[in-house]
Structure formats: structure tokens, C-alpha cells
Amino acid sequence: MKRIAEILLILVLLLCVSCERDSIKATSTVAQSFVTADNKTAISLWFSLEGYTDAQRLEIRSPNDEFTWSLAVKTADYAGRVYTGSSDAVLPTDVTLLQGQWSYTLIFRDGRTLEGVFELN
């Protein structure tokens, strides 16, 4: 019985080692503000990802945490690179773009996250 327990322990350890997940890395981040057709300020935030790239949601937070968006991500091909992100964060009418560090969380299908900050001028 002890021998079976030892073998099961070794198998579990081997399984854990073989299940190592791909790393997540943003090799390029593009953040910019723009004015929509109905004259509202919006934010575009896109990433070129390396490793695990199956992102599901993007959360963007304003510098003062007054505004938060939770957006479905899209992919776009630009100049031979695939970018993941969104251009759907629209500020309320008559709100000007806040200066300072904005923050983001990119949420992946397996539950992992990639967090960071960006600035808009």
C-alpha cells in the first residue's frame, strides 16, 4: 500500500510539472484618446501579446478611480502584428480627459490577469 501511495505522489508531481502554463507578456501597448462622432471623448487601448494570448476582458480605470470600464476584447491585425484590446471606453458627455496614470487589467480565459498603467495626453 505504501508503494502505491509513493507511485501516485510521483505521478501527481510529474503532472504538475508538465502542466506549466505559457507566460503572458505585453510586448507593445498602444493607448490613445479620440473624439467620437457624437463628440464624446473615448479611449483606445491595445496590446501585442506574447505567450498565452487568449484574453477575454479588459478593465480600464481612470486616475481618480471615478470611471471604470469592463470591456470585451477584440483582435485587430495591423502591420503584420495581432493586437488585442478595445476602443469602446467612452467618457460621459462633457467630461474631459483626466490627466495622470490610468490603470488596466487584462483578464484571460484561464483566470490569469495582466495589470499595468498608461498615460494619456
pLDDT category of residue 82 using cuts at 50, 70 and 90: very high
Q: Would you say residue 19 has pLDDT above 70?
A: no
pLDDT category of residue 21 using cuts at 50, 70 and 90: low
Average pLDDT of the chain is 87
Q: What one-letter code names the amino acid at 82?
A: V
Residue-wise pLDDT tens digits, 37-73: 999 999 999 999 988 888 999 999 999 999 999 999 9
pTM of the entire predicted model: 0.78
In this structure, what C-alpha cell is assigned to residue 5?
501511495
Cα angle 90, 91, 93 (rounded to 5 degrees) comes to 115
Contact 113, 103 (CB under 8 A): no
Domain residues of the chain, as ranges? 22-119
Q: Would you say residue 84 has pLDDT above 50?
A: yes
Which CATH number is associated with domain 22-119?
A: 2.60.40
Closest CA to 73 of 49, 59, 57: 57
Q: Which residues contact 69 (CB under 8 A, 6 or more apart)?
A: 58, 59, 60, 88, 89
Q: Would you say residue 121 has pLDDT above 90?
A: no
pLDDT category of residue 17 using cuts at 50, 70 and 90: very low
